[in-house]
Amino acid sequence: MSKQTHKKLAKQVKRMRSFVTQVYRDNPKQILNYKQIASKIGLDDAVQKQILVAVLEAMVKDKLLTEVKRGKFSWMGPIEEMEGIILFNRSGNAFVEIQGQAQDVMIPENYTGLAFHEDRVIIRLNNTKKGGRVKGRVVDVVERARTTFPGVIFQNDKSFFGIPDNHKIGTDFFIPAKHLNGAKAGDKVVIKFEEWENERLNPIGAVETVLGRPGDMRAEGDAILAEFGFPLQFPKEVEDECSTIDRTISNSEVDKRKDLRAITTFTIDPDDAKDFDDAISFERLENGHMRIGVHIADVTHYVQPNSKIEKEAQNRATSVYLVDRVIPMLPETLSNDLCSLRPNEDKLTFSVLFEMNDKAKVVETWIGKTVIHSDHRFSYEDAQKIITNKQGKYAEELDSVNALALILRKQRMEHGAIAFEKSEVKFKLDGEKKPIDVRFKVQKEANKLIEEFMLLANKAVAIKIGKKSKASDVIKTFIYRVHDQPDPIKLKEFGHFVQRFGYNLDLSTPKHVANSINSLLKMVKGKPEQNIVEMLAIRTMAKAEYTTKNIGHFGLAFPHYSHFTSPIRRYPDMIAHRLLFEYLHGGVSANDASVEKLCKHSGLMERKAANAERQSTKLYQVLYMKDAVGEVFDGVVSGVTEWGVFVEIAANKCEGLVRLRDIEGDYFFYDQKNMSIVGQRTKQTIQLGEKVQVRVEAADVEDRRIDLKIV
């Protein structure tokens, strides 16, 4: 067995032990057999099942399990050991959040072992005084959050080291000279983690890719992608597989589908979009009703299960939208060409057709596979002009569909949906990808038209699978996009905060919460506190996530909701397409644990993509502000911490930090309860949402940091 194969197997065994351990921690008193354990983990692979058998035997030998009857096991391991994600701060200390435990566990710097930021670890609790902070130490690393780290090479005498860009990775990597891969001191690189056996020594790494020099925008963007684990390019075998896909649409394939090529159909997308994964069709029926079609690219027709393309899409789980580029989930052959619903081309789609009256009541819904022909491609701006002026190409169709969308939106709001419309920052770049202007994307009727019908289609698909039509129906496993109700404590804190601006919230019932927040969002529109109130309102909400366990979507006020409408850029939508097609044709229910596992992975990658996109925006904000060093701006305090206050500049939404030590006239300390800082001598307060004037002191591209000073 090669060293690499041995390492891979050892990693699989370690992960399997972790899965088994977690199953028993969730079910500490249960006696489980091999099949029950495999089902809870979601195993459907023969090789993985063999590993599970070996792991169970080993855990019995290690006295972690006992075989109470032949093939039935109970937990015997230590109860003080727990598993969780470790999160470091810049001081070197870390915290591990344990599921089901109210307080996280502090891990002092000397007890973090061989863990990196965001690794999944096993910790053991230390003895603590009664009432004191719960502390622990890392005893094992179950799974690395990442194996590649962007950083900069430096040389010390004849040795080379890699300093990670992420300040929460508190150790440098030793890079043997033979693993420099052409890198020189000062280069920005991607470091591949090799091994770390002794916590007293540096982890060992190898240069995987030389990105360029620090400050180069292409290199900095590549570093952001590497930081969050997104590949910089598609593997050759994936591109090769794409080239073998049959591009023709045969008559036999058309015969299997509803042929809608004669129906008026169009797409509405951003001006710079290349992947058109949804289209709208319109036809007026003889009974006076309208049939609106929502047509979604049939990605899973081309991407087959267990193919190399499928595995790559599953791993990436999402497209990533940086300021200067898009990193697609699928190769461009599929995303921008074969699956993209480009005008004047026949395309294979998965559609939801709604027969509606002029009050937007859905009389009948049909869901199935189709073939369409888009007649025109609108940008949002083009469609908006036609809607506003009521003249132009397909003006009647756009006006009719928009009228329905307005009613649908009004109905959603009346049912308790929340109307978040936070303005999105967009940079105008020159030919060299340098930011020369900042614009704010505003949602107009054309945007909302598409949004409403995508929401309607996602809801219809979730209802089709998730809602019983009669008492005897069995609900089959499906993927839902759920949004839990807000935490009452967070809501109360938010209510206290907005009272500073003279607003009051009614928090008595979920419906009153939604209506009250909607009223608040209307009242703050156009006022200086708008952005901070909108931002905090969003933070108050629970995070939306993917799961097989449907609890409804609070923010949309939908009891059933899924993601079906963007399979080119979201893997969960591909899952929904596959399950939906199977069930429409009488297929049996999918394994719940297997789908839930994909949900968790997709959610993780979604969060990583959002973080990468935020870092990209931050990078371009810093670059944009480099020419503004020394200038004074109006701003609003957008964050308060123990080391300083964050201020968002009103003119361009760029955010920078004012360090406490740089505030003149007093020594300021952090008042967490009131989200403010307070002068020790003068009692002067600076609080969240307060208007201030700041001077730009520095803009550091490499650290993605804007330093401000209150004037």
- Which residue ranges make up each domain of the chain? 3-75, 81-143, 148-214, 239-481+553-608, 629-710
Q: How many residues does the chain have?
A: 711
Name the pairing type of β-strands 264-269 and 376-379. parallel
| Domain boundaries 629-710, corresponding CATH code | 2.40.50.140
- Percent share of the chain, pLDDT over 70: 97
Is 321 buried (19+), middle (13-18) or exposed (0-12) by CB count in 10 A?
A: middle
pLDDT band at 43 (very low <50, low <70, confident <90, very high): confident
80 band by pLDDT with thresholds 50, 70 and 90: low
Spatial separation of the C-alpha atoms in residues 351 and 283, rounded to whole Å = 15
Confidence of residue 77 (pLDDT cuts 50, 70, 90): confident
pLDDT, tens digit (0-9, with 9 covering 90-100), for 454-466: 999 999 999 999 9
Distance CA 15, CA 119 (A): 13
Distance CA 368, CA 349 (A): 9
Is the pLDDT at 658 greater than 90? The verdict is yes
In sequence order, what DSSP letters do the residues of 605-666 get, joined into one string? HHHHHHHHHHHHHHHHHHHHHGGGTT-EEEEEEEEE-SSEEEEEETTT--EEEEEGGG-TTS
Share of the chain above pLDDT 90, in %: 62
Class of the domain covering 3-75 = mainly alpha
5 three-state secondary structure: helix
Burial grade of 523 (CB within 10 A; 0-12, 13-18, 19 or more)? middle
Say if CB 232 and CB 225 are below 8 A apart: yes
Strands (E), 197-288: 204-212, 258-259, 264-269, 278-284
Contact present, 623 and 699 (Cβ < 8 Å): yes
Q: Give the range with max mean pLDDT: 417-431, 437-451, 554-568.
A: 554-568
Q: Hey, is 499 helix, strand or coil?
A: helix
Same fold, 81-143 and 148-214: yes
For 330-356, write each residue's pLDDT tens digit.
999 999 999 999 999 999 999 999 999
Q: Give the pair of three-digit tokens for residue 500.
A: 């500073």
Outline where DSSP puts E strands in 196-325.
204-212, 258-259, 264-269, 278-284, 290-297, 320-321
**Mean local confidence (pLDDT), 189-193:** 95
Look at residue 403 and tell me whether its pLDDT is greater than 60.
yes
Mean pLDDT, the chain, integer: 91
- Output the CA angle 45-47-51, nearest 5 degrees: 115
pLDDT of amino acid 703: 85
Give per-residue pLDDT as tens, 228-238: 989 989 999 99
Q: Which range among 52-61, 130-139, 172-181, 519-528 shows the weakest confidence by mean pLDDT?
A: 130-139
For residue 273, CA distances in Å to 252, 321, 336, 424 come to: 32, 11, 9, 16
Across 577-589, average pLDDT: 95
Beta-ladder partners of 75: 65
The model's pTM is 0.84
Provide the CATH topology of domain 148-214: OB fold (Dihydrolipoamide Acetyltransferase, E2P) (2.40.50)
Q: Given its phi and psi angles, is residue 610 left (phi above 0), alpha (psi -120 to 50 degrees) or beta?
A: alpha
Task: Find the largest Cα–Cα distance for the chain.
Answer: 84
Q: What is the structure's pLDDT at 29?
A: 76
Which of these ranges, 5-9, 149-153, 476-480, 653-657, has the smallest mean pLDDT? 5-9
pLDDT at 195: 93
Q: In what order do the strands lie in the sheet with 676-679?
A: 668-671, 676-679, 685-687
**In this structure, is the dihedral angle defined by the CA atoms of residues 288, 294, 300 and 302, taken in order, positive or negative?**
positive
Q: What's the confidence (pLDDT) of residue 211?
A: 95
pLDDT value, residue 310: 97
Torsion angle of alpha carbons 254, 463, 413, 269, nearest 10°? -20
573: tokens are 């939508």
Does pLDDT of 269 surpass 90? Answer: yes
Crossing angle between the packed helical segments 34-41 and 3-26, to the nearest 10 degrees: 100
Show Cβ contacts of residue 345 under 8 Å, excluding neighbours closer than 6 positions: 373, 374
pLDDT in tens, 24-39: 877 777 899 888 898 8
Q: Per-residue pLDDT tens for 213-259?
A: 998 889 999 999 999 989 989 999 999 999 999 999 999 999 999 99
Q: Count, in order, helices (H) and strands (E) of the chain.
A: 17, 34
Residue whose C-alpha is closest to residue 208's, from 170, 173, 236: 173
Q: What is the mean pLDDT of residues 618-629?
A: 94
Nearest CA-CA partner of 373 in 292, 454, 260, 483: 260
Is residue 131 over pLDDT 60?
A: no
Q: Which CATH number is 81-143's, of 3.40.50.740, 3.40.50.2000, 2.40.50.140, 2.40.37.10?
A: 2.40.50.140
Residue 78 has a pLDDT of 63
Spell out the residues 6+ positions from residue 123 whose beta carbon is closer than 8 angstroms to its own: 81, 82, 83, 84, 86, 96, 105, 107, 136, 137, 138, 139
Query: How distant, in Å, are the alpha carbons of 93, 225, 404, 610 from that of 86?
Result: 10, 21, 48, 20
